[in-house]
């Protein structure tokens, strides 16, 4: 195993703002020393006009503050993200809207994503989910090395969200690239590279939108027992979803439902491999998985920061005024390791109590896929603990994906003596 490189304060680059450094790929494997530096100035502006908020208390306050918009249309017209939204052939996803538009769409979607559909559905799905992950491991039984990302963490949640929505899982080959480009365009638009990511994300969103439109047509003609069909046919006190709302909401669910969960499974596996005593404990105590997944969401959150907030007015917080129109980044991963809120925040404590992390956000945009994500990750990690014989990390740190927001390894190679 290669030695793990711990980031140190003296490695932090001079000349770039802390926020720019977080976005710099050089810090992807270990951004936590940067977050610790950031917390010393919990509301931190940089020369580009970005504001990063990094203490647990202030992030939580701002997640509940209506003066902070999730709607990119609140940005000045020359903002690259605002321009991409203006050029998109799909209306903004409801995650990127504010009340009352957001609340109406969220209500209409949660109707399909809550009782009696998904809550019962998730429980009923447990058996199938276990069968699916065990099937993946069965097929690798003659291998001595596996890539947790490509062989396990990616196919599983993608298959689940496709089946839930009513998307043929074999179409994954078509939308894989689009999904990745959209997810990575969530990163801040810093420099030429950032603008390129946003342009690629725009193309991908338009193409995925076209794919969804065709699929919605098929489901309209022949509704099945899936969420897309129900979203098409359902009407409530809020009315029906328009064609545009259907397209943007289903694109959102498809994207939200897989990149993040892939990273949580991978981040969880990496943390277990770095803490073999905890991996061993999980083998004998499968119920430990419930607090352990929460601790992974705190310790290595798949969404490191909210990248799309904009100040609707001048907001003075902790003595700093964030001007109207400024992009505001709520640094979830920094808040999750805030020593004012969590004891020993840099230690992974699998049965940590009082663990109200920000891994799924907070406030009106709180992740409504959380119950599904939790079950998927609990099942995936428990199966690894049960079945991998003597698993060892091949490279530490592993190579990371480009994205600073949706942070996770691109590959996670693990040597095993066998798979039970
Ligand atoms: C919102 C994280 C899985 C659907 C969010 C937010 C976070 C988050 C941090 C808040 C965003 C904000 O405040 O702007 C995660 C993580 C996941 C996960 C870490 C996996 C481990 C899922 C899944 C789905 C989903 C499986 C759907 C199937 C959504 C939706 C929203 C959201 C629709 C927007 C809610 C709104 O705007 O009202 N998620 N998520 N997520 N998530 Fe997730």
Atom number of ligand 1 nearest to Cα 308: 14
Q: Whose CA is nearest to atom 35 of ligand 1?
A: 365
The dihedral through the CA atoms of 28, 32, 33, 38 has a sign that is positive
Q: Which domains does the chain carry?
A: 9-419 (1.10.630.10)
Predicted local distance difference test score (pLDDT) of residue 117: 58
Atom number of ligand 1 nearest to Cα 361: 9
Residue 194 C-alpha to ligand 1 middle, in angstroms?
A: 23
Q: Whose CA is nearest to atom 25 of ligand 1?
A: 369
Kindly state if the Cβ of 188 falls inside 6 Å of ligand 1: no
Predicted local distance difference test score (pLDDT) of residue 189: 77
Q: Can you spell out the DSSP letters for 361-386?
A: --GGG--TTHHHHHHHHHHHHHHHHH
C-alpha 374, offset from chain centre = 13
Q: Which of 357, 315, 317 is nearest to 333 (CA)?
A: 357
Q: Which of 353, 25, 399, 371 is nearest to 187 (CA)?
A: 25
Opening angle at CA 195, ends 266 and 211, nearest 5: 65
Kindly state if the Cβ of 92 falls inside 6 Å of ligand 1: no
For residue 332 the two structure tokens come to 């979830």
Is residue 72 within 8 A of residue 310, CB to CB? The reply is yes
Predicted local distance difference test score (pLDDT) of residue 8: 39
The torsion angles phi and psi of 320, rounded to 5 degrees, stand at -110, 135
Residue 308 C-alpha to ligand 1 middle, in angstroms?
A: 13
Atom number of ligand 1 nearest to Cα 377: 21
Predicted local distance difference test score (pLDDT) of residue 165: 92
Is residue 329 within 8 A of residue 309, CB to CB? The reply is yes
On the CB side of 237, CA atoms within 13 Å amount to 3
Q: How many CB atoms lie within 10 A of CB 132?
A: 19
Helix crossing, 80-87 with 191-221: angle to 10°? 30
Which 3 state secondary structure label does DSSP give 252?
helix
Establish whether this prediction's ipTM goes over 0.95.
yes
- pTM of the entire predicted model: 0.94
Low-confidence stretches of the chain (pLDDT beneath 70)? 1-15, 114-121
- For residue range 75-125, list pLDDT tens digits in order: 878 887 778 777 777 888 889 899 999 999 999 888 877 665 555 667 778
Q: Which of 370, 361, 250 is nearest to 309 (CA)?
A: 361
């Amino acid at each position: 195993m290669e030695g793990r490189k711990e980031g140190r304060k003296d490695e932090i680059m001079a000349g770039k703002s802390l926020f720019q450094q977080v976005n710099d790929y050089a810090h992807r494997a270990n951004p936590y020393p940067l977050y610790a530096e950031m917390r010393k100035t919990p509301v931190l502006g940089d020369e580009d006009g970005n504001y990063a908020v990094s203490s647990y208390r202030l992030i939580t306050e701002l997640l509940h503050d209506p003066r902070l918009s999730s709607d990119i249309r609140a940005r000045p017209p020359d903002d690259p993200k605002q321009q991409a939204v203006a050029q998109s052939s799909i209306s903004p996803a409801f995650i990127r809207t504010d009340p009352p538009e957001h609340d109406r769409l969220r209500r209409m979607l949660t109707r399909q994503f809550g009782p009696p559909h998904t809550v019962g559905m998730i429980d009923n799905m447990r058996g199938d989910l276990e069968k699916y992950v065990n099937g993946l491991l069965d097929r690798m039984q003659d291998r001595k090395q596996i890539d947790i990302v490509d062989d396990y963490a990616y196919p599983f949640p993608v298959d689940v969200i496709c089946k839930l929505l009513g998307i043929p899982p074999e179409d994954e080959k078509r939308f894989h690239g689009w999904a990745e480009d959209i997810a990575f365009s969530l990163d801040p638009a810093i420099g030429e590279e950032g603008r390129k990511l946003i342009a690629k994300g725009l193309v991908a969103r338009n193409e995925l939108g076209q794919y969804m439109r065709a699929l919605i047509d098929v489901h309209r003609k022949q509704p099945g027992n899936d969420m897309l069909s129900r979203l098409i046919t359902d009407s409530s006190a809020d009315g029906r979803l328009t064609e545009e709302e259907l397209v943007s909401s289903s694109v959102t669910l498809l994207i939200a439902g897989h990149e993040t969960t892939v990273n949580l499974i991978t981040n969880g596996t990496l943390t277990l491999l770095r803490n073999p005593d905890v991996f061993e404990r999980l083998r004998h105590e499968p119920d430990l998985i419930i607090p352990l997944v929460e601790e992974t969401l705190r310790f290595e959150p798949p969404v490191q920061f909210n990248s799309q907030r904009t100040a609707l007015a001048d907001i003075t917080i902790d003595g700093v005024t964030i001007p109207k129109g400024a992009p505001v980044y709520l640094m979830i991963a920094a808040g999750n390791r805030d020593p004012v809120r969590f004891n020993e925040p840099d230690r992974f404590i699998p049965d940590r109590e009082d663990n109200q992390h920000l891994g799924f956000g907070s406030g009106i945009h709180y992740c409504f896929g959380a119950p599904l994500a939790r079950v998927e990750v609990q099942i995936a990690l428990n199966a690894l603990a049960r079945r991998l014989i003597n698993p060892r990390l091949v490279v530490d740190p592993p190579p990371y994906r480009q994205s600073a927001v949706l942070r996770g390894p691109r590959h996670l190679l693990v040597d095993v003596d066998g798979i039970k």
